[in-house]
Amino acid sequence: MKKIFVILLVLTSQLCFAQTAQNSGFDLSCPDADFLPCNWELSWGEEDYCTLQKEEDNQYLSLSIPVANAVVFVEQPIAIEETKEIKIITLSGKIKTKNFTGKGASLHIQLFDSQGQYITKKDMGGSRSAKWIIGDTGWKSYSIQMACPVGIAKINIGAIIQGQGTANFDDFEIKIEAVTEKKPNEIAASYMEEVAEVIATHSLYKDAIDLQKMKKQAKWVVADAQTKKDCQLGVEYMLQFMQAYGDNHSFFMPVKEVAEWKGDTDTGEASIKYPGIKQIGTIGYISVPGFHSSNQELIRAYADSLQSGIKSMFNDELSGWIVDLRPNDGGNMEPMILGLGPLLDDVALGSLMDVNGNIESWYYKDGTYAWDEEKGMTLEKPVKLSKKLPIAVLTSAYTGSSGEITTISFIGNTKTRSFGEATMGLTTGNDEFHLSDGSILFLASTYMMDRNGNIFKSRIKPDVEISGTDKSDTDAVLEAAKQWIKEQQ
């Protein structure tokens, strides 16, 4: 993969107006549902997980999850006059957590147009949700900020938690500032120029995007930047601008998150979900979650856990494998391909094609992950299976990005069939473009292809489509996979 080294930008705007959300301190209870504050809606989660609590005379919103990895989301819609100019939205609020594990607690903003169409969102997590609040913390003020494009008519602000534990929220405030059309200073201008050049050269959507308009508006957003760090909002605005042209995959990773992405195992370990391995009758079941790190020790640990799980289940009585990619939201593909390598054929598993038609393929062979011209990690004691068994691959609408690359790696594989729902549709490869301040622009610059040369520009449909959204206790997708494996005997 070619790497281009570039530069970044900052924010400035004039205050247009500030407003406090209705019942922003959660002091008024809802008469129809006393677990909710007035003017707020429980958009996701169980009612029992949402309560109003008091400390002395102060009432606040408390969200509490007793089970692992659930989600609770409370929000308030705010109708505004349709925006005719770019604005900067700042949402602030206080958060306190207790015994919280998992992803954490966060503030949240969503934007909608005049037709009610969802446009984009932002929380406290940046590209990796690294800044969501976990553990035991006292009351502390937090804020998030995003550029609001022309045409927005509704803003949803909210409190969201994912994981297990308790998070309390109080004193929300939203400010909306109008961006002035002004000449950017030298830092802002040069940084935006370099980011725009990367997009103009490498983006899959470069011929469709109004690059000059995007660049000019991004410079307004960060016109008074004093440092490159101040330019983050301008980069985010460019990526948001590109969403209207179909790019929903590119993202920006600021310096601090790059350190966490590459970081040591002490900080990275907490964010890693390891594969689930179990035997279902005579079938080896492997659940493969996303992997969001580039730390070499963690990559090796994740891949080793997959291969050791495969080895532990392989025996003469085993009738097949189920590879469950339904919860896989992407991240770094290397540990996924490396860990599942014993189940994959010794061929080019798939390819990425860039805007100039250049093609590069990925492989697994004898414990090594590799590209055409680049060798990746090699496991010390790779697992080798003595025979090929039927493999059922499970996908869902949550299977995205590198989860989709892993899905593609099994297309055309020996004795393999896929079941479930079509994938998320983030079937573009994001190349890394390192910026001058150490940040990284992950830009959708390639299309994914399977080993047969089929190009994917949208969701990947499984061989057998089965809805995974029914409310029954039976996992219809899993049952169909088990039945197919049984029929192969």
How far apart are alpha carbons 39 and 158 in whole angstroms? 11
pLDDT at 423: 96
How far apart are alpha carbons 92 and 478 in whole angstroms? 43
Q: Look over the chain and give the mean of its residue pLDDT values, rounded to a whole number.
A: 89
pLDDT at 2: 32
When mean pLDDT is compared across 116-125, 133-142, 152-161, 378-387, the lowest value belongs to 116-125
- Give 18's pLDDT tier (boundaries 50, 70, 90): very low
- Give 102's pLDDT tier (boundaries 50, 70, 90): confident
The closest of 342, 240, 340, 255 to 289, measured between CA atoms, is: 340
Instruction: State residue 237 phi and psi, 5-degree precision.
Output: -65, -40
The residue with greater pLDDT, 283 or 126, is 283
Q: Which neighbouring-strand residues pair with 354?
A: 446
Instruction: State residue 124 phi and psi, 5-degree precision.
Output: -85, 0
pLDDT at 106: 96
Token readout for 51 is 């309560």
Please state whether the predicted TM-score (pTM) of the whole model is above 0.75. Answer: yes
Using only C-alpha atoms, the chain has a radius of gyration, in whole angstroms, of 24
Does an H or E element contain 256, and which? helix 255-262
E strand residue ranges, 326-425? 350-354, 359-365, 368-371, 374-378, 391-395, 416-420
Give me the mean pLDDT over the 63-83 stretch: 91
3-class secondary structure, 40: coil
Contacts (Cβ under 8 Å, ≥6 apart) of 106: 123, 124, 125, 129, 131, 132, 133, 159, 160, 161
pLDDT at 58: 93
Q: Where in the chain is the domain with CATH 3.90.226.10?
A: 259-487
Give me the mean pLDDT over the 391-404 stretch: 95
pLDDT at 189: 97
pLDDT at 34: 81
Give me the mean pLDDT over the 119-148 stretch: 84
pLDDT at 270: 54
- The architecture (CATH level 2) of 259-487 comes to Alpha-Beta Complex (3.90)
* pLDDT tens readout for residues 359-376: 999 999 999 999 998 999
Q: Where in the chain is the domain with CATH 2.60.120.260?
A: 14-178
Q: Among residues of the chain, what percentage have pLDDT more than 90? A: 74
pLDDT at 472: 55
- CA of 436: how far to CAs of 8, 10, 219, 235, 411, in Å? 7, 14, 18, 13, 39
pLDDT at 6: 28
Residue 9 pLDDT exceeds 60: no
Find out whether 12 and 170 touch, Cβ atoms under 8 Å: no
Does an H or E element contain 477, and which? helix 476-487
pLDDT at 20: 57
Per-residue HEC secondary structure of 125-181 comes to CCCCCCCCEEECCCCEEEEEEEEECCCEEEEEEEEEEEEEEEEEEEEEEEEEEECCC
The closest of 28, 70, 51 to 168, measured between CA atoms, is: 51
When mean pLDDT is compared across 24-33, 48-57, 461-470, the lowest value belongs to 461-470
pLDDT at 263: 67
* Topology adopted by domain 14-178: Jelly Rolls (2.60.120)
**Would you tell me how many other CB atoms lie within 10 Å of the CB of residue 132?**
24
pLDDT at 441: 95
- Give 129's pLDDT tier (boundaries 50, 70, 90): very low
* pLDDT tens readout for residues 429-463: 889 999 999 999 999 999 999 999 999 999 999 99
